[in-house]
Amino acid sequence: MRKEVDYWLEQGKADLKSAIDLLKSENYYASVFFSQQAAEKALKSLYIKSKKESIRGHNLVFFARKLSAPENIIAELTPDYLTTRYPDAAIGAPFESYTKDSAEKHLKMAEEVAQWVKEEIEK
The CA-based angle 96-86-58, given to 5 degrees, is 120
Was domain 2-121 assigned CATH 3.40.50.150? no
Q: How far is CA 90 from CA 15, 18, 72, 96, in A?
A: 22, 21, 21, 9
The pLDDT tens digits for 29-76 are 999 999 999 999 999 999 999 888 788 888 888 888 889 888 787 888
Asked whether the beta carbons of 12 and 114 are under 8 A apart, the reply is: yes
Share of the chain above pLDDT 90, in %: 63
Q: Other CB atoms closer than 10 Å to residue 116's CB: what's the count?
A: 20
Ordered by start, the domain boundaries in the chain are 2-121
Q: Look at the pTM and tell me if it is higher than 0.75.
A: yes
Q: Is 115 exposed, middle or buried (0-12, 13-18, 19+ CB in 10 A)?
A: exposed
